[in-house]
Amino acid sequence: MEEEIIKYWNNRANTYSKMINEDMNSFKREAWSNIIKDKAGDNVKVLDIGTGPGFFAIIMSQMGYDVTAVDCSSSMLKEAKVNSKIAGVKVKFMKSDVENLDLPIESFDLIVNRNVTWTLKEPVKAYKNWFNLLKKSGRLLIFDANWYLRLAKPELEKEYKEDIKWAIDMGYDCKTNEKQRSKCRDIARNLPLTYELRPQWDKKVLTQCGFKKIIIEEDISDEIYTKEEKAAYRTTPMFSICACKH
């Protein structure tokens, strides 16, 4: 399973990097910078989990944060290193299984990830690991969506297909082919969070892990999506979770 996931993201690295560069040159760079700063504060030591082509790592470095970025995909990390060099920032990149990070405990002020937690094979184990990596005053920021809940709820699948058609008519380009989409669906069918309603599930588990305060925004689409993306993701809006250790 892990090898399948890594292979999938290795194959997506180039096109995903192009998407990230488009985001970097749009309103999204400032939008995400503002969201992160509002939730994280200033001068923090950050761990960017599942960095992909490095979007979060780059913008947080530009904000003055000390960033370590990890990913399981060597191809994604290759893209991230190139992108960070072009951006003129220094980031410590690491290849690692994001669910089993072998890093010093209580060493980060902030752990952040986007569109990563839905891919976890053992999310409870991962959340416990991330809790331990945070300093006593640390925070965990999660940005994700119920991307494949539609596999468990046929009514959502119908709405999703209608929304995608609508978005494409508006000019939306998802930048994936049918083979890639089919492979991603196959992977999602074997992942536990496909069958959980989030972020309610996350709140319960993060509390069990020991986080004392959990702030949830159910839908941040208006802040970070184009009108075409809002149409495409109407049934799967992106949520944000800010979990405070103390």
Q: Is the peptide bond before 199 cis (omega within 30 degrees of 0)?
A: yes
Give the pLDDT of residue 98.
Answer: 93
Q: Whole-angstrom Cα distance, residue 211 to residue 40?
A: 15
Read off the pLDDT band of 181 (50, 70, 90). Answer: confident
Asked if 144 and 240 touch (Cβ cutoff 8 Å), the reply is no
Give the pLDDT of residue 112.
Answer: 98
How does the average pLDDT of the chain come out, rounded? 94
Show the domain range for 20: 2-244
Half-sphere exposure of 193 (CA within 13 A, CB side): 22
Read off the pLDDT band of 6 (50, 70, 90). Answer: confident
Lowest mean pLDDT among 10-24, 53-67, 177-191, 201-215: 10-24
| Res 9 pLDDT > 80 | no
Burial (CB < 10 A; 0-12, 13-18, 19+), residue 171, is: exposed
Give the DSSP per-residue string, 8-74.
HHHHHHHHHHHHHHHHHTSHHHHHHHHHHHHHH-SS-EEEEET-TTTHHHHHHHHTT-EEEEEES-H
| Res 11 pLDDT > 90 | no
- Residue type for position 48: D
- What is each CA distance from 101 to 72, 74, 98, 113, 133, in whole angstroms? 11, 16, 6, 14, 9
Distant-in-sequence, close-in-space partners of 198: CB < 8 Å, separation ≥ 6: 144, 145, 146, 239
- Residue type for position 12: R
**pTM (2 d.p.):** 0.94
Which among 222, 40, 25 has a CA at the least distance from the CA of 142?
Answer: 40
65-100 confidence digits (pLDDT tens): 999 999 999 999 999 999 999 999 999 999 999 999
Strand, helix or coil at 135? strand
Token pair for 168: 């494409």
Read off the pLDDT band of 1 (50, 70, 90). Answer: low
Q: What is the CATH number of the domain that holds 66?
A: 3.40.50.150
| Res 41 pLDDT > 80 | no
Q: Tokens 């599942």 label which residue?
A: 50
Give the pLDDT of residue 210.
Answer: 98
Give the pLDDT of residue 175.
Answer: 79
Report the domain count for the chain: 1
* Mean pLDDT score, 213-224: 97
Asked if 20 and 83 touch (Cβ cutoff 8 Å), the reply is yes
Which among 136, 133, 55 has a CA at the least distance from the CA of 101?
Answer: 133
